[in-house]
């Protein structure tokens, strides 16, 4: 049987066995939602991908430790937005641990079965009185309908919440996968990026879940870039409740990765689409590389090129800037065999520009979804893709005024 | 005797034996200067540093070849702005060679003794009729007073011309060094960047000049970044006429490097200060690294961080963004021993923020010259510096509208 993926409502609480809530406890202004709890009714298998940044925030350090101690069996995730609890020293570590302890106590579970995450301004201490009140409120509010509120409660500068859920009909049985994510600055994943929480109601042993999560992240969250930054707080957690009565084993690895990807890819694209100041989603495809790694390196260089991102913003089919990035990206490159396509329009190939096609490309660039395909010209079979967004004056404005 | 460096007028034509000119031949609009010739009355020793971009423009390829054929003895440099003659295929190669041939013929020198450079839009062919007229006009206009016009004629989006000349009083004797440079987008040097032309009237054998130019570039043109881009056309040429009657030998290597640096550093800083949309010059100093290379890697990551550059633009002493970049830069890093100073204000040290000092740092950031110093906390003695500029809405505007 061919696997069927059906979009469903409910986000992170769509899979059976999960409840979620998002509340406002006053970390952010204007009564915006700023604290979320996701709870599993039973001990869930867990997997996690953490930031590779060496300046790791307190919640990352505490979650890593709990993850290790609980052998991948988790009951809950507690998350706040508005304050990253990063670079906050000993106090920050205590605060992250208190978030865990309070959540565990309120839910009557072991503290080591709780993961914690924070996002927002770096270097500011958590207002623990607000956090305490928020955790109490959130645990009381936990429900199967709480996914959308949880998605909102983890937002910082995101212009819209990101949540996805699918029902998977596979040979192994029918199960559900849901997830929420937040961006939207400091987005360039190396292993992990931003915050994302994925739930599923199939039963999966932690090592298999970890392997599948890593594989799904590589092609989704690790293939996006808003600004080439990598944050101190990035993590992706996956929890599998097993409540659906379906068990995924080694033989089901492909469907597990696909199922996770069905949720992670739209969340990842949502982060880029909601990137700070973004007006266009740019999909970059690199072909003709000596290896997939070289293709990814060039894709990443294009995704982070301010000159490419501003040209796309201005609707300018400036293929010369793409060639310049290809040449400096560090990957093998043969100008005389290289090609650049903007949407359906080939503007450069075999060393020759086709500038008479520029007007067609300019019309194409008026859209909000832009595909760029470049061929490095080496004749190799290496390919890769990345998603990014345009660079706009609004990005500068948001980040020049973030704390003021 | 301690070497004395005295600023003098005349730019690239200040050293004896050199004449320069800048003319308008209609490549750029509004009769702006767009073609320059720098000529040496005698065969000059030459050194060159070229872009590392694999997509090398035709003039770069032709200059490399002439440089090889002439064994580092050169008579002239011809440069146009407004059109980069890059990605222009066979025609582009012919056009670059024609620029060389015409200049050589008009000056009555060997074609292999002429270097050529172009800067401007990629992928557009040179208007050879204009170029031909311009070369004739420029050669006729060559004079000792032509430095300032040459400096203007190589500008593209530069807001002001960049020229420097110094008279060096050293044990070896008195000689002069002059130079001009242009930016100001696609600036991130890897070996070479942008265009710069340096002249001196001491006698120096080509190999010594090459070594000294490379050393001077590493600390100047290779230590600047406007936007992390590396162009297809970057080159730095140095010509030594020997007309001053002073010979610099191996023992004079330090004074030669210092003399070149006296010219290259203000030109490099000028490129950053005139970076596209820039309102602030940012000097980054990294200390406490395991090696100078690791320090440079972190300095480069900071110089290219959109979040740091927008924060400085907004006058926000957001030290957390610096810590985040330090952590992701790939260099060894110890958060608990790290430090961040913005100007004279230490905002973070040994894992502890000093946010009560933020107002002082905010006042400091109102200035147009900003010093950032970060300590990676490893206890190592590696240091490095980079110059960059802030990232502004104007940068986006310039580059979204460059060709439209």
Could you write out the DSSP letters of every residue in B125-159? ---HHHHHHHHHHHHHH-BTT-HHHHHHHT-SS-S
User: CB contact, 8 Å: A392 with chain B?
Assistant: yes
pLDDT of residue A150: 97
**Scanning every residue of chain B, which has its alpha carbon at the shortest distance from the alpha carbon of A332?**
B54
What would the mean pLDDT of B73-83 be, rounded to a whole number? 94
pLDDT of residue A272: 87
pLDDT, tens only, A152-182: 999 987 889 999 999 999 999 999 999 999 8
A42: enclosing H helix or E strand? strand A35-50
Distance CA A52, CA B294 (A): 17
User: Could you give the 3-state DSSP secondary structure of residue A132?
Assistant: helix
How close is the nearest chain B Cα to the Cα of A87, in Å?
A: 6
Distance CA B116, CA B92 (A): 12
Sheet holding A339-342, edge to edge: A224-225, A382-389, A281-289, A369-375, A339-342, A345-349, A352-353
How close is the nearest chain B Cα to the Cα of A23, in Å?
A: 27
Read off the pTM: 0.79
User: Could you give the 3-state DSSP secondary structure of residue B303?
Assistant: helix
What would the mean pLDDT of B385-400 be, rounded to a whole number? 88
- Check if the beta carbon of residue B368 is closer than 8 Å to that of residue B279: yes
* pLDDT band at B404; cut points 50, 70, 90: very low
User: Could you give the 3-state DSSP secondary structure of residue B384?
Assistant: strand
How close is the nearest chain A Cα to the Cα of B372, in Å?
A: 17
CB contact under 8 A, A392 and B391: no
Catalytic hit among A51, A193, A232, A388: A193
Mutate to test the interface with B, among A399, A401, A404 (most CBs of B within 10 A): A399
Nearest to A53 among B227, B313, B328 (CB): B328
pLDDT, tens only, B158-185: 889 999 999 999 999 999 999 999 886 5
User: CB contact, 8 Å: A304 with chain B?
Assistant: yes
Backbone angles phi, psi at B341, to 5 degrees: -120, 130
pLDDT of residue A275: 82
**Scanning every residue of chain A, which has its alpha carbon at the shortest distance from the alpha carbon of B231?**
A324
Say whether pLDDT at B293 is over 70: yes
pLDDT, tens only, B311-330: 999 999 989 889 989 988 99
Mutate to test the interface with B, among A50, A52, A53 (most CBs of B within 10 A): A53
Provide, as residue numbers in chain A, all residues whose Cβ is less than 8 Å from the Cβ of B402.
311, 314, 316, 318
User: CB contact, 8 Å: B93 with chain A?
Assistant: no
Provide, as residue numbers in chain B, all residues whose Cβ is less than 8 Å from the Cβ of A57.
none
pLDDT of residue B287: 97
* CA B46 vs CA A392, B43, B75, B205, B357: distances in Å: 43, 9, 9, 8, 51
User: CB contact, 8 Å: A121 with chain B?
Assistant: yes
How close is the nearest chain B Cα to the Cα of A392, in Å?
A: 6
Provide, as residue numbers in chain A, all residues whose Cβ is less than 8 Å from the Cβ of B88.
353
Size of chain B, expressed as the number of residues it contains: 404
Catalytic hit among B193, B199, B283, B378: B193
Distance CA B314, CA A185 (A): 16
Residue A96 in tokens: 């992250």
Question: Does B193 qualify as catalytic in the annotation?
Answer: yes
How close is the nearest chain A Cα to the Cα of B351, in Å?
A: 6
pLDDT of residue B402: 58
B44: enclosing H helix or E strand? strand B35-50
User: CB contact, 8 Å: A330 with chain B?
Assistant: no
User: CB contact, 8 Å: B352 with chain A?
Assistant: yes
pLDDT of residue A307: 87
CA A68 to mean position of chain CA atoms: 23
User: CB contact, 8 Å: B355 with chain A?
Assistant: yes
Residue A23 in tokens: 């509340």
| Mean pLDDT, chain B, whole residue set | 91
pLDDT of residue A190: 34
DSSP string, A337-402: G-EEEETTEEEEETTEE-GGGHHHHHHHTTSSEEEEEEE-SS---EEEEEEEE---HHHHHHHHST
Distance CA B107, CA B65 (A): 20
Residues in A 203-262 with any Cβ partner in B closer than 8 A: 227-232
- Check if the beta carbon of residue A320 is closer than 8 Å to that of residue A328: no
pLDDT of residue A56: 84
Provide, as residue numbers in chain A, all residues whose Cβ is less than 8 Å from the Cβ of B229.
305-307, 324-325, 328
Provide, as residue numbers in chain A, all residues whose Cβ is less than 8 Å from the Cβ of B227.
306-307
pLDDT, tens only, B95-127: 999 999 999 999 999 999 999 999 988 888 999
pLDDT, tens only, B262-291: 999 999 899 888 888 889 999 999 999 999
Rg (CA), chain B: 22
Mutate to test the interface with A, among B57, B83, B122 (most CBs of A within 10 A): B122
Residue B357 DSSP symbol: G
pLDDT of residue A229: 59
CB contact under 8 A, B229 and A324: yes
For chain B, list the domains and their CATH numbers: 4-273 (3.60.70.12), 281-400 (3.10.20.340)
Ranges of H-type helices in A125-172: 128-141, 147-153
Exposed, middle or buried by CB within 10 Å (0-12, 13-18, 19+), for B404? exposed
pLDDT of residue B398: 81
Degrees to nearest 5, angle at CA B163 with B159 and B165? 160
Residues in B 53-82 with any Cβ partner in A closer than 8 A: 53-56
Mutate to test the interface with B, among A58, A83, A85, A87 (most CBs of B within 10 A): A87
Count CB neighbours of A194 within 10 A. Answer: 31
Q: Which residues of chain A have pLDDT under 50?
A: 187-193, 404
């Amino acid at each position: 049987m061919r696997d069927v993926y059906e979009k469903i409502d409910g986000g992170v609480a769509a899979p059976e066995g999960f409840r979620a809530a998002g509340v406002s406890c006053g970390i952010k202004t204007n009564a915006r939602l700023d604290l979320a709890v996701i709870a599993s009714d039973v001990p869930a298998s867990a997997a996690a991908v953490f930031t590779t940044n060496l300046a790791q925030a307190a919640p990352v350090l505490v979650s890593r430790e709990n993850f290790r101690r609980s052998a991948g069996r988790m009951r809950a995730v507690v998350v706040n937005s508005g304050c990253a609890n990063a670079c906050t020293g000993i106090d920050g570590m205590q605060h992250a641990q208190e978030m865990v302890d309070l959540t565990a106590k309120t839910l009557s579970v072991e503290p080591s079965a709780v993961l914690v995450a924070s996002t927002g301004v770096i270097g500011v201490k958590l207002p623990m009185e607000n956090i305490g009140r928020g955790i109490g409120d959130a645990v009381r509010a936990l429900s199967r309908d709480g996914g959308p509120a949880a998605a909102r409660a983890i937002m910082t500068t995101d212009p819209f919440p990101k949540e996805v859920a699918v029902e998977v009909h596979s040979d192994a049985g029918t199960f559900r996968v849901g997830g929420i994510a937040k961006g939207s600055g400091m987005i360039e994943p190396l292993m992990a990026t931003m915050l994302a929480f994925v739930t599923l109601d199939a039963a999966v042993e932690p090592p298999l879940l970890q392997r599948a999560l890593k594989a799904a992240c590589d092609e989704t969250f690790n293939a996006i870039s808003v600004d080439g930054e990598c944050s101190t707080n990035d993590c992706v957690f996956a929890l599998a409740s097993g409540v659906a009565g379906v068990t995924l084993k080694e033989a089901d690895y492909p469907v597990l990765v696909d199922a996770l990807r069905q949720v992670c890819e739209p969340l990842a694209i949502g982060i880029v689409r909601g990137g700070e100041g973004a007006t266009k989603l740019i999909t970059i495809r690199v072909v003709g590389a000596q290896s997939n790694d070289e293709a990814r390196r060039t894709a990443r260089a294009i995704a982070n090129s301010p000159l490419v991102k501003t040209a796309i913003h201005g609707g300018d089919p400036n293929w010369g800037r793409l060639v310049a990035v290809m040449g400096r990206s560090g990957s093998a490159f043969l100008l005389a065999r290289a090609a650049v396509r903007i949407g359906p329009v080939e503007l450069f190939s075999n060393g020759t520009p086709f500038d008479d096609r520029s007007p067609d490309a300019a019309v194409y660039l008026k859209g909000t979804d832009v595909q760029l395909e470049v061929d490095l010209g080496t004749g190799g079979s290496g390919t890769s893709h990345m998603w990014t967004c345009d660079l706009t004056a609004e990005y500068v404005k948001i980040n020049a005024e973030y704390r003021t």
